[in-house]
Amino acid sequence: MGASRSASVALAALMAGCVGYAAQAESRLDPAPSVVQSAAAPSASPDQGKGDTVATGAISPPVSPSPDLAKPAAAGEAVQAPASPSDTGKAETTNAGAGSDPADAVAAAPVPTDPMGAALAARLADPAPLLARLSTKDREAMQAFYGLGAFKPVWVVDGVFTPAAKAAASRLSLAAEDGLNVQAYPVPVIGTQGLTEAQTAEIELKLSAAIVLYAKDARGARINLSAISRLITPTLDIPGADAVLARIASAGPQAGTVLQGYNPAQAGYLALKARLASLRNLHGAPMAVSPVTIPAGPVLKVGMNDPRVPVLRRHFGLPTRTAGTLDAASGEPDAFDATVSAAVAKFQRGRGLPATGTLTPQTVAALGRAEASSRVGDEEATVLVNMERWRWLPSDLGRDYVLVNIPEFRLRVVRNGMQRDESRVIVGKAETPTPVFSGMMEYAVVNPSWNVPPSILKNEFLPALARDPNYAARRGYEVVYRNGNISVRQPPGERNALGFIKFLFPNNHAVYLHDTPNRSLFSASQRAMSHGCVRVDDPFRFADSVLPEAWSSERLKKLIGKGERTIRLPEKLPVHLAYFTLDADDRGSLRTFSDLYGHDARMKIALGLAPGSLLVAKAQVKAPAKVAARPATPAPSAAGASSEVRRAASHAAPSGANPARAVRAPAARSAEAVPVDPWGPAPAPAPVSRGWW
Mean pLDDT computed over 51-68: 37
- Identify the pLDDT of residue 375: 54
pLDDT higher than threshold 80 for residue 13: no
Say yes or no to pLDDT of 631 above 60.
Answer: no
Longest CA span, the chain: 99
pLDDT of 89 reads: 37
To which H or E segment does residue 170 belong? helix 163-173
Nearest to 441 by CA among 391, 398, 407, 490: 398
Q: What is the pLDDT of residues 163-207, one digit of tens each?
A: 999 999 999 999 999 999 988 999 998 877 889 999 999 999 999
* Residue 687: C-alpha distances to residues 225, 531, 591, 623 (Å): 16, 15, 34, 7
pLDDT of residue 282: 66
Residue 230 has pLDDT above 80, yes or no: yes
Pairwise CA distance, residues 539 & 551, whole Å: 13
Lowest mean per-residue pLDDT among 311-325, 424-438, 610-624: 610-624
Predicted pLDDT of residue 483: 81
pLDDT at 505: 95
| pLDDT over threshold 60, residue 73 | no
Identify the pLDDT of residue 2.
45
Cβ neighbours, 10 Å, residue 365 = 13
Which among 18, 315, 509, 533 is annotated as catalytic? 533
**What is the arithmetic mean of pLDDT over 59-88?**
37
d(CA 581, CA 268) in angstroms, rounded, equals 12
497 close to 450: Cβ distance less than 8 angstroms: yes
> For residues 234 and 88, is the Cβ–Cβ distance under 8 A?
yes
> Which of 439-443, 459-463, 541-545, 588-592 is predicted least confidently?
459-463
- Measured between its terminal Cα atoms, the distance across the chain in Å is 66
The pLDDT value recorded for residue 442 is 96
Which residue type occupies 365?
Answer: A
**Residue in 497, 500, 505, 494 with CA at minimum distance from that of residue 404:** 505
Average pLDDT over residues 507-525: 91
Size of the chain in residues:
693
The pLDDT of residue 601 is above 80: yes
Q: Tens digits of per-residue pLDDT, 232-288?
A: 999 999 999 999 999 999 999 999 999 999 999 999 999 999 999 998 876 555 444
Quick one: pLDDT band at residue 420, thresholds 50, 70, 90? very high
Q: What is the reported pLDDT for 166? A: 94
Same fold yes or no, 304-367 and 397-662: no
pLDDT in the model for residue 212? 98
Say which residues have a Cβ less than 8 Å from residue 378's Cβ, sequence separation at least 6: none
The DSSP 8-state label assigned to residue 403 in this structure reads E
pLDDT category, 458, cuts 50, 70, 90?
confident
Lowest mean pLDDT among 12-26, 194-208, 398-412, 584-598: 12-26
Q: Measured between alpha carbons, how far is 11 from 631 in angstroms, rounded to an integer?
A: 62
533 counts as catalytic: yes
CA torsion, points 531, 537, 538, 544, in degrees to nearest 10? -70
Is residue 461 scored above 60 in pLDDT?
Answer: yes
Domain ranges of the chain: 2-279, 304-367, 397-662
Dump the DSSP string for 577-640: EE--SEEE-TTS-EEE---TTSHHHHHHHHTTSSS--S-S-----PPPPPPPPPPSSPPPPGGG
Q: What is the mean pLDDT of residues 491-516?
A: 87
State how far the Cα of 645 lies from the Cα of 478, in Å rounded to an integer.
10
pLDDT band at 603 (very low <50, low <70, confident <90, very high): very high
- Domain 397-662 annotated CATH 3.40.50.300: no
Identify the pLDDT of residue 679: 32
* Angle subtended at Cα 670 by Cα 668 and Cα 671, rounded to the nearest 5 degrees: 115
**Residue 615's pLDDT is what?**
58
* Of 315, 514, 531, 576, catalytic: 514
Q: Is residue 138's pLDDT more than 90?
A: yes
Read off the pLDDT of each residue in 627-648 and give the average, rounded to a whole number.
40
> For residue 546, what pLDDT band results from cuts at 50, 70 and 90?
very high
DSSP 227: G
pLDDT tens, residue by residue, 346-402? 888 767 678 889 999 889 988 887 654 445 688 999 999 999 999 999 999 999 999
pLDDT, average across residues 73-95: 38
Give the distance from CA 94 to its chain's centroid: 17
> What pLDDT score does 612 carry?
72
| 544 pLDDT above the threshold of 80 | yes
Tell me the C-alpha distance between 224 and 207, whole Å: 24
pLDDT of res. 370: 67
Indicate the CATH number of 304-367 among 1.10.3470, 3.90.1310, 1.10.101, 2.60.40. Answer: 1.10.101
For all residues of the chain together, what is the average pLDDT? Answer: 76
509 is catalytic: no
Least confident of 87-91, 203-207, 454-458: 87-91
Q: How many CA atoms lie within 13 A of 451 on its CB side?
A: 17
